[in-house]
């Protein structure tokens, strides 16, 4: 499966601008591979050394031409230009992903903190609990999408690094160990999102004993009958997963049958 098949813009369309430009980087690497200079032969090295000696010898006469630098091979110049272009694009891509990742994590962390504050500072019975659970559902979905975003970009970055390593192992190793580049790639294995998902699940468990859902017509009767009724967690999750908030507010599929 190619990397492009992992991109599903319909899942998180508002994040599409932050995805790694894998096709562009792959194209640049293919161009680099085609322009990569071959190692010089021993005969070529000997010729270069002899030419350098002659230039050093002639420079003692002070001729202007002897002071001019040796003309660079056009193929080498083209390779270095493409390499600079690739490194610049790759660095900018990593910088964009890193900035987006940390900004998104900060926003979701604040949103989760707000939900936790609502759960502890306000009563979570009656109509308040379904609204809180519904907001928690959206937050959990956003965190899941963010984890998917990280997985897709990490897959692409690893593939690009693998291709670059095959082409230029020394330069790739230097980049991977450079503090600036390691900071740009710290999002790849950042455990923060898993911690936020764990906190969201824990909050959902805390809300279970007090979650009461009722239809408008039978709200008072449901309150008297189901105030202490246990919640059927799989059915609650089913209500949320089908994208029907009315399923929560009307009590369908959400509460176990109470015999009291």
The domains found in the chain, sorted by start residue, are 27-211 (1.20.58)
Which residues on neighbouring strands pair with residue 255, listed in sequence order?
A: 231
pLDDT of residue 175: 83
Token pair listed for 251: 């009590």
Whether 80 and 12 have beta carbons less than 8 Å apart is answered as: no
Between 188 and 36, whose confidence is greater?
188
Asked if pLDDT for residue 173 goes beyond 90, the answer is no
The upper half-sphere exposure of residue 139, i.e. CA atoms within 13 Å in the direction of its Cβ, equals: 27
pLDDT of residue 204: 83
From the list 85, 88, 107, the residue with the least C-alpha distance to 96 is 88
**Nearest-5° angle of CA 192, CA 194, CA 199?**
95
pLDDT of residue 76: 60
Asked if pLDDT for residue 50 goes beyond 90, the answer is no
pLDDT of residue 224: 40
Asked if pLDDT for residue 94 goes beyond 90, the answer is yes
pLDDT digit string, tens, across residues 227-260:
444 444 444 444 444 443 333 333 333 333 333 3
């Amino acid at each position: 499966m190619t990397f492009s098949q992992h991109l599903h813009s319909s899942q998180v369309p508002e994040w599409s601008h932050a995805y790694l430009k894998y096709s562009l980087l792959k194209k640049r690497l293919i161009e680099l591979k085609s322009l990569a200079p071959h190692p010089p032969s021993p005969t070529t090295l000997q010729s270069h050394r002899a030419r350098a000696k002659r230039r050093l010898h002639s420079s003692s006469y002070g001729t202007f031409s002897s002071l001019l630098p040796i003309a660079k091979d056009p193929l080498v110049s083209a390779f270095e230009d493409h390499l600079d272009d690739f490194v610049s694009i790759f660095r900018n891509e990593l910088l964009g992903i890193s900035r987006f990742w940390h900004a998104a994590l900060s926003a979701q962390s604040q949103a989760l903190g707000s939900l936790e504050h609502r759960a502890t500072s306000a009563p979570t019975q009656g109509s308040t609990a379904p609204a809180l659970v519904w907001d928690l559902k959206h937050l959990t979905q956003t965190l899941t999408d963010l984890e998917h975003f990280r997985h897709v970009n990490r897959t692409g970055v690893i593939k690009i690094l693998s291709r670059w390593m095959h082409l230029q192992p020394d330069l790739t190793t230097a980049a991977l160990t450079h503090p600036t580049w390691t900071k740009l790639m710290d999002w790849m294995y950042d455990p923060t999102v898993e911690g936020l998902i764990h906190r969201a699940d824990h909050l959902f468990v805390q809300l279970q004993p007090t979650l009461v859902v009722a239809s408008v017509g039978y709200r008072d009767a449901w309150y008297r009958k189901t105030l202490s009724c246990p919640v059927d967690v799989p059915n609650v999750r089913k209500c949320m997963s089908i994208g029907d908030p009315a399923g929560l507010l009307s009590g369908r599929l959400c509460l176990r049958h109470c015999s009291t």
